[in-house]
């Protein structure tokens, strides 16, 4: 079992809840209230700004050129890839990046990003990568499950762009690179270190569930 496979096994029950979440189900069948999605888009845009900083700290923590490049490539993939989905939706919803950036982070969002940033500042390369992994992989897993259950979901006139973005080959390839990064950085970890890595990944997986709750309830 690889390190990433262990992390995923440790969080199976949490991840199972994502697929049944009413927010995710609303995207899947196209019935999600657009006001909820608008709220989510703004909060996720703010989340991604801090998420990118975690990768940037990974660049600074990297011990060699290869890992520097992997972290740096991920910052590019977010700023000039994943965030394009958000900018597109925000334009369709009449939200400017300036408006989004001047919106306050919801408490759940702030708690999540603060946790990741603390891990990034205080711990090592593998821990930085593990704190990022849950968000990256869970979005692909959610989108793939949506398409499996609703084969036309990626063609929905509004939510299709969100689904197709997270089942795209480019997003999958970026995730594969991140999995390789985590597995290689933690390859020589002992049981105590692996258990700590799992604690970080589990915490972030729980935060992902809280983020969906926050978006559904539009919590401040």
Angle at 32 between CA 29 and CA 33, to 5 degrees: 155
Rounded Cα distance, 186 and 184, in Å: 5
| Contact call for residues 178 and 129 (beta carbons, < 8 A) | yes
The DSSP call for residue 78 is: I
User: Which sequence positions are flagged as catalytic?
Assistant: 208
Query: Which SS3 state, helix, strand or coil, does residue 138 take?
Result: helix
For tokens 């440790």, name the residue: 10
Please state, in angstroms and as integers, the Cα–Cα distance from residue 75 to each residue in 69, 72, 150, 206, following that order.
10, 5, 31, 23
């Amino acid at each position: 079992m690889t390190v990433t496979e262990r992390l995923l096994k440790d969080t199976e029950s949490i991840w199972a809840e994502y697929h049944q979440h009413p927010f995710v189900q609303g995207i899947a069948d196209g019935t999600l209230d657009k006001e909820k999605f608008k709220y989510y888009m703004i909060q996720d845009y703010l989340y991604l700004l801090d998420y990118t900083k975690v990768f940037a700290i990974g660049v600074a923590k990297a011990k060699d050129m290869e890992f520097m490049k992997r972290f740096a490539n991920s910052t590019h993939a977010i700023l000039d890839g994943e965030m394009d989905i958000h900018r597109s939706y925000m334009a369709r919803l009449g939200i400017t990046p300036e408006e989004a950036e001047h919106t306050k982070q919801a408490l759940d969002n702030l708690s999540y990003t603060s946790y990741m940033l603390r891990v990034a500042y205080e711990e090592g390369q593998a821990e930085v990568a593990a704190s990022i992994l849950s968000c990256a992989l869970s979005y692909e897993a959610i989108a793939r499950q949506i398409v499996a259950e609703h084969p036309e979901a990626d063609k929905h006139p509004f939510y299709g762009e969100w689904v197709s973005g997270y089942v795209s080959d480019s997003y999958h390839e970026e995730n594969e690179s991140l999995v390789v990064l985590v597995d290689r950085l933690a390859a020589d970890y002992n049981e105590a270190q692996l258990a700590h890595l799992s604690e970080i990944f589990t915490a972030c997986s729980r935060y992902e569930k809280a983020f969906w709750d926050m978006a559904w309830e539009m919590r401040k």
